């Protein structure tokens, strides 16, 4: 790699780290702790993405790729944490809410989410059935507790359940909110990294990524833009949600076609970090 390209990569790293460092400092994470996670991530990525013939990379090759000693690589691999369970729970919550708003079995004649019984009195269209369809690996009682905890499901007349929000969004002081922020940054970063690694030809399509920005906007317009974006973006996300629902694998499990996670995210851009 040329020095020019390597310097550009390091500059990109510094830009990408700034919002993460703000989150780390705000939550009491020291540089030493963050550096350890960075080393863990180097080892994890080298092991998963740079193996030979599809196999995980061995310790010697990880050491060569990362500059971390084999002894340290082993220590790091033994100490690595796994965020999969929490992310799976959050993903399940998002799928359940999406299904509640788009699946005809759980919507009324006006395509609005119906109030659902917990289970027994209306088994076909119950909350339990909704969870079994969209988050089968998570007990429906645990899912209900989580959705109520973040105030997106409420009890209504007759003890039935009704969604108060379309998307799973933990409170900003909730640990899950911090983990979710990391997963959003990971989604953006994965698309950018994928595009940078692609050979731009007709056979190697990139993932969509674009921005609409202007450097000369009046500060007084920020509030109006936020309202405009929330209205327009919400409408687009709902249409995208419906498209994704139409292309889901049938819940009967008969199809052997492989599945993957697919979606789109929208975020506001602003250089003003003051609150």
For 77, the enclosing helix (H) or strand (E) is helix 70-79
pLDDT exceeds cutoff 70 at 273? no
Split at pLDDT 50, 70, 90, the class of 216 is very high
User: Of residues 126 and 203, which shows the higher confidence score?
Assistant: 126
What is the rounded CA–CA span in Å between residue 244 and residue 97?
13
Q: Do 70 and 91 lie in a common domain?
A: no
Compute the average pLDDT of residues 224-250.
87
Asked if pLDDT for residue 1 goes beyond 70, the answer is no
- 243: in domain: no
Helices (H), 164-271: 175-197, 222-246
Tens-digit pLDDT profile for residues 4-61 = 988 999 999 999 999 999 989 988 889 999 998 899 999 989 988 888 777 778 889 9
In-domain check, residue 275: no
- Domain annotation covers residue 177: no
* Mean pLDDT, residues 235-256 taken together: 79
For residue 73, tell me if it sits in a domain. Answer: yes
Structure tokens at 7: 């310097």
Separation between Cα atoms, residue 94 and residue 224, nearest integer Å: 28
- List the one residue out of 143, 146, 85, 153 whose CA is nearest residue 115: 153
58 and 5 housed in the same domain: yes
Residue 273 within a domain: no
For 53: left if phi > 0, alpha if psi spans -120 to 50, otherwise beta; the answer is: left
Domain range spanning residue 137?
Answer: 84-163
Return the bridge partners of 161, or none. 116, 155
Predicted structure pTM score: 0.68
CATH number at residue 101: 1.10.10
Choosing from 106, 135, 163, the residue where a domain stops is: 163
For residues 55 and 59, give the distance between their C-alpha atoms in angstroms, rounded to a whole number: 12
- pLDDT tens-digit map of 62-112: 999 999 999 999 888 877 766 667 777 788 888 899 889 988 889 988 889
- Taking only the tens place, the pLDDT of each residue in 156-211 is 888 899 999 888 887 777 788 888 888 899 999 999 988 888 765 556 678 889 99
The per-residue pLDDT of the chain, averaged, comes to 85
Number of Cβ atoms within 10 Å of the Cβ of 136 = 12
Residue 123 has pLDDT above 60, yes or no: no
3-state DSSP call for residue 3? helix
- Closest by alpha carbon to 163, among 148, 142, 141, 145? 148
């Amino acid at each position: 790699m040329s020095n020019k390209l390597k310097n550009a990569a390091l500059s990109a790293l510094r830009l990408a780290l700034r919002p993460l460092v703000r989150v780390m400092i705000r939550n009491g994470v020291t540089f030493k702790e963050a550096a350890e996670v960075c080393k863990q991530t180097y080892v994890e990525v080298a092991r998963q993405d740079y193996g030979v013939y599809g196999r995980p990379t061995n310790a010697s090759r990880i050491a060569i790729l990362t500059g971390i000693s084999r002894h340290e690589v082993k220590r790091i691999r033994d100490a690595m944490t796994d965020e999969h369970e929490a992310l799976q729970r959050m993903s399940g919550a998002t799928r359940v809410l999406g299904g509640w708003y788009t699946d005809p079995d759980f919507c009324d004649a006006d395509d609005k989410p119906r109030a659902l019984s917990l289970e027994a009195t209306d088994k076909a269209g119950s909350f339990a059935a909704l969870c079994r369809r969209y988050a089968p690996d998570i007990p429906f009682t645990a899912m209900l507790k989580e959705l109520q905890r973040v105030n997106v499901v409420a009890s209504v007349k007759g003890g039935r359940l009704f969604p108060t929000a379309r998307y799973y969004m933990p409170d900003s002081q909730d640990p899950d909110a911090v983990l979710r922020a990391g997963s959003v940054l990971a989604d953006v970063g994965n698309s950018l990294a994928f595009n940078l690694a692609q050979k731009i030809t007709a056979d190697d399509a990139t993932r969509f990524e674009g921005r609409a920005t202007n450097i000369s906007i009046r500060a007084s317009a920020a509030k109006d833009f936020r309202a405009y974006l929330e209205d327009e973006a919400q409408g687009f996300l709902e249409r995208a949600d419906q498209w994704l629902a139409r292309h889901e694998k049938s819940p009967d499990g008969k199809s052997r076609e492989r599945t993957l996670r697919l979606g789109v995210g929208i975020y506001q851009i602003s250089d003003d970090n003051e609150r």
